[in-house]
Structure 1
Amino acid sequence: MVNEGDAAEPSVRFRVLGPVEILIRDKPVPLRAGRQQTVLSMLLLEANHVVGTDRLIDAVWGDDPPTTAGSQIQICVSALRRILAEAGGIIETRAPGYLIRLSPDQLDMQVFQDTVTEAGRVSRAGEVAEAAALLRDALALWSGNALASVTSRLVRAKAARLDQTRLSVYEECLDRELQLGRHRELVTELMTLVSQNPLRERLCGQLMLSLYRSGRQAEALEVYRTARTELVDQLGIEPGEELRRLERAILAQEAALDWTGTAEPAAHTAGPRQLTAATADFTGRMEQVDALERALTQSGTAANPCGVVPLVVIAGKTGVGKTALAIHVAHRLAATHFPDTQLYADLRGTRSDPLSSEELLMSFLRALSPPGTKFPDTPEERAQLYRSRLAARKALIVLDDVADEAQVRMLLPGSAGCAVIITSRVRLTGFPGSRLINLGQFDHGEAIELLGRVVGEDRVNAEPAAARTLSELVGGLPLALRVAGARLAARPHWTLETMVRRLADEHRRLDELVHGDLAVRASISLTYGGLPPQVRLLFRELSDLPWDTFPSWVAAAVLDIGVREAEDLLDELVDAHLLDYVAADSRGSISYRFHVLIRIFAREQTGEEPRREDEGRRRLLERVCGGWLFLAEHAHGLLYGGQFTLLHGSAPRWEPRGGFHETPLADPLAWLESERLNLTAAVRHSAGAGLDELCWDLASTLVTLFEARGYFDDWTDTHKFALDAVREAGNRRGTAAILSSLGSLHVTRRQTATAPELLDGAMEIFEELDDHHGRALVLRSQASLDYHMGETRLSLARYDAALRELREAGDLIGVAHVLVNIAQHQLDAGAPDEAVKQLDEALGICRSVGSRRTEAQVLYRLGLAHLEQDRVDAAGEALGSVLLLVRRNDDPVGESYARLGMSAVHRRLGNLKTAEAMLLRTLEISEDLADTVAQGRALFELGTLLAEGADPARARVHLERARAIFRDQRLRLWENRTLDALDALDGPAG
């Protein structure tokens, strides 16, 4: 504990509420302008928190730091430490930057905030005069605009927020003094403030009231007329309802405006009431409201016999209305169930600067404690005091935007008279006894309900289809719904369909969303206009890209800058609510997206401000699509141990700088899966932009994903776009590569009627170009087709030719694939020992380059070979390893064949039930993938298994289905085997 007598005046103080200053024993210390003041300002604004070196560099140099920036920051910090030497090393080095350690009374900004908080407490207790005095004390700490001596863009942005806070406190102080009847004394001061801030309606209203109470009615009305003119001219809006109501009251000389001679005391409260205002147009969510109220009010009932503190977690993605629901319910319950205290805090869990539990604990303690209270030193002791303060209260604590359980565990009360509402983007299930409510997107009914409140339910019910379309056109944005509804309400002769038609033209949509002082474009424009030029440029260029969502590196490609730098610019757009985060994936990668109306606004700006010429736009798209190609190519290399089994072109790649791709590609197949829609769109858009070389290369690289996951429709669609692009450009090698890949697809899907033409066309071009690697890949596919058609000798000859050319090309995994297929020929011929030799060589290749996916394919065939050698244990070991590998890689195609192999092992061991279960699961997977060959194989094995188990009726059903599949796919070898099995059923044993 800190003893009262231990308090002493600090020897070092800092000022940021004006020019930045250091005072040692109340004497200012000279500071060098520029870097030194900027670094000190950043540390002071985040006092007792670490400020990263990169952030300091950005504050000092912005977008163009020198190569020595890091060492220059270190020099600045060293110089500040020398100035503060007698304070005992107040600046600490903490990875990844620095921290300035201060007590609350050393920094005028903190003293200001604490004094304002205390003023609020005494005001709620009815001590208006004391509150006014405290607010005047807080304002007296200012000596000009915040951090007036610093020009850094980052510092100025933070300073602007401080200046706005100062103005709000000034208005609060003036309200208290007007309550005390000081209207005559305030007139001159208010005139000055209004002239400096003509758009602050609250100040205008205070000046009007002080003039009226001073007997100057005409001047009060003139203030209103001047304010209205300013608002209309500068913002295009009318004054708010409160100011208009005050004007009407002054005109009517209402008695309520007169000062009664005493300050009106505030209602006494047993504790702080920190809830923010409830959403006026809160709509729907009745099921969740009921569930919340039941969970929060069960204390002392049979549902809560042990007196557990009721705790509810509202979880859902950003923007679904978690906070609105929490505040709505909190207000409904405050007076009846939690009259003593309501605490509220935004913990900023989804932002880069979340509140720590220690910070918030102190904030709550100050709100709950008498002025002058000395608090314990340790967080544990403070948490005990916090729980004691709440022990006898009926209190509701709302903790908004929580990152994880650890962030709030210290803030949970211990007495059952309290309750807690937590909102979070993630499902927090670590609180014993808590209730989790998952909040989904706003449904159509709730959107229509909001529209009906504004327009009238009759009109909405008369045109349900138009109401739905209207909601979709504005992306469900409440402001836009209100504007559209207000326009309809003001024009009863319009139908909802009229509004839909007016909104349908994207180029005029924002023009339509204006009514009175409500305007979507004006709202967005105010925010857009305050952005730095480079952020505005990024905003405009991103809006022209055709992707719905995009990762941060795309922004880096747009401006051709580093990824970390682009992320800082994206954060500014997110902070300004002009761009939305899409929840991070399992690797921590964040994507972004536009709201539909904000994207329209951004595209409008390309006509208002300088934009890139058409060739520049093409280069921009080339960089972005080149980035997708680089990452897809890198993912393929990680899966196959190099750029094997693929042909690549000469299209330029764009590599995200700073090793960005290492983290998302830690699981390359999962990354390809997560970005599948963006990658396939990149093929489509590069084709449309005439980037034919890039288009075919990316399309063929994505076969890595399509083949592993069975995305055969994507394989077809991307290759059709690519084929059109290369043929239109006269790109012969690209044409051959795409024909070869399409031929491989048709072989994979056993489309034996169409595959030969595609492969022959590819071979003709590769021979014309003397491209041996291309020839080898076509030969491999042709050999596979021959095998399935029962042309064994031709298949082997082509595999041998492909093997020679693949060895010459250095395509090691291509060699391994061919060795596996030759081994299958040898297995069919009853030569398992020869097959094992081929497979051992292929396995060595896979392990030497690190291709786990191909290793699984080799092990599968090796397991089959061991079965032919009657080495059942070795076969089980190999096929068991395959099953583990493919399941770990989430490879359903591989899993279906691994289970097929394992069923044979169990069959040899006499585990017929297990073998049947394996085959049934194979059948399920292959049916999901529409892999007809795997279905046929599973049905064949099931039929022969059931025949052995003396169940000929079921065996015949499966074998007949298998025969039909093999006949349709023209798989003569397997069709003949199935006919033999059916003949056996008809023999004497059958």
Structure 2
Amino acid sequence: MWSFGLLGAFRVECDGAEVAVGTPQMRTVLALLVWHANEVVPVGRMFDELWGEVPPPSAKVQLQGIISRLRRVLGKERIATAATGYVLRAAAAELDVELVRQDLAAARGLIAGGDVALGATRLREALGRWRGPADVHLTEPVAAQLEELRMTVLEERVDADLMLGGTADLIGELTAAAAAHPLRERVRAQLMTALARRGRVPEALDVFLAFRRTMVDELGVEPSEQLRALHARILRGEPVARPALPLPRKAHQPRQLPPALPDFVSREELLTELADVLTAPRREHGPLVVVSGAAGLGKTALVVQLAHRVRERFPDGQLFATLRGDDTMAVLQQFLRALGVPADLVPAAEDECSALLRDLLAGREVLLVVDNAADARQVRPFVPAEPGCAVLVTSRRTLGELEGARLVRLGLLDAAESAELLTNIVGVPPGDALVAHCGGLPLALRIAGALLLDHPHWTVDDLAARLADERTRLDWLEAGDLGVRASFDASYRQLSQSHQMLFRRLGLLPATTVPGWLAAALLDIEQTGAERVLEDLVSWHLVSTAGDGTTIRYGMHDLLRCFAAEQAEPEQGAVLTRAVGACLAMAESMAARLPADGLKSASGTVPDACDPVAWFDTELPTLQAVVETATVRGMAEHAWELDSLCQRYFDHRGHNDG
């Protein structure tokens, strides 16, 4: 078993034997990766730590060499390459820092539950993991954060000792800590408390006065109100009360699931399958299910329906929260409070909250529902180690990078399911046109139903007529706090500039599906780069795929296309010009390679991607759609050129197929 030690001299061991890491630069890079274990460390951060603000021209090559040598020492799978940097994969048991965090979280749980003595013991064990001062090869920020962690553990252990009535043994320890950390207020408060309880009131008052001088001289501020209040109590001769022991915590059983939709329809097969996953006997790890899909597909409704179906399997509680932006920490704290942790004992660091959550879930059967996760990084802090617990996640991304997850890509409702949902809402059959305009999107269908209920003088045909025009369809698909446009916009705003650009420009193309080369033309980049952007959009469920291998094409839901076209309206002329130019260039190249009259491709074989006949077979619908659009948008000459190239293909086909 491997172990990585940062608490003292940096040390790497394998099966108890120390492993030589190599050069100081290798130790610096590895220490940085260990501190950020299982997180991507950007290349730029490594440059800064190795060479400061001005890295040498060969910095990238040198760093690659360092990583290569580290992989030879640790095994090539230990350090993975990410898009922006590198990540060290390590289990919690392999990291002494992570063991301290687990000790701290467990101690907080014990103290919150009333077992202060055992909590104090656990904190002493955590402090005992330090083997000395920080290694000289650690970067200054890492060394500072390690010292902050040590002081946090020390202060919480002192608080526990004060709760238990201890003072005599604390004074020397706190005096040394105060000298080492002259601006740390909590240590001063603890030292003042310990001195006052021992009857050494003048010394306690001197501690405050010395600290106040330091704060005013160095920072220009007064001590906090809490420390001033403690000083006043000691000055008045009032006893400094022993901190109250927390009462034993009751077994909180939160029931946070929102109500299930009464008119939920279809997806019965999927619900049954996932219910079996969540309730199946297990020995090691609880299930983690991620339901992903585009905005408005009903992911939350499905997961809530599923959670209610299996809630009896999780008698110790069901937790539910919606992530909004980067608020993982807030949701972790919400869950901890729901599980009975007093607000003043909830940790202030995300990793500590996560560790405490795992500790509280130990031996319990709790269902956690995390709605609207942006990425895997947001989900990992909620995943317990207990086999009795389960986690349900919804996301607009697939989250394929989330380890051990059961991934479910939610699809659109078919016409029959859409009609059933609308009928359940409004009580009358909706008609084919209205169903078609909603495109199988549950959010659009629910809004359509709400509009019909809000406007009883409208018929189904009236609403269908209002939705018929794609240019104004999204204007109508709003009802109260529900809106298709707003839902799509939330996904759009999370994209990078290049992803936004391609998404909105795709909305202006007249073709139903497009190939990678046409997307490349819209971004003016190489096709491989454009396909990477496209695949990211696929992962976000903003673009769909058809075909496979070299014939993959990319499409977009009709309502998403309406939204994308709205965003791209100022670029309309430029986008069409790019599309027409790209189609002309490709069609000219392929038309020039059409076989001479009377010659055919080898019969009985599938033409390869460069076969001009196969290319025209595939791309003809796109070319014809571009011709039609260019004709009505004032680009008749280019439209005629492209149509002529298509005619050469028709002539060839007519000669060989006649």
Between Structure 1 and Structure 2, whose CA radius of gyration is higher?
1
**Higher RCO (Cα < 8 Å, 6 or more apart):** 2
Instruction: Give the TM-score normalised by the residue count of structure 1.
Output: 0.34
Instruction: Give the TM-score normalised by the residue count of structure 2.
Output: 0.48
Higher helix share: 1
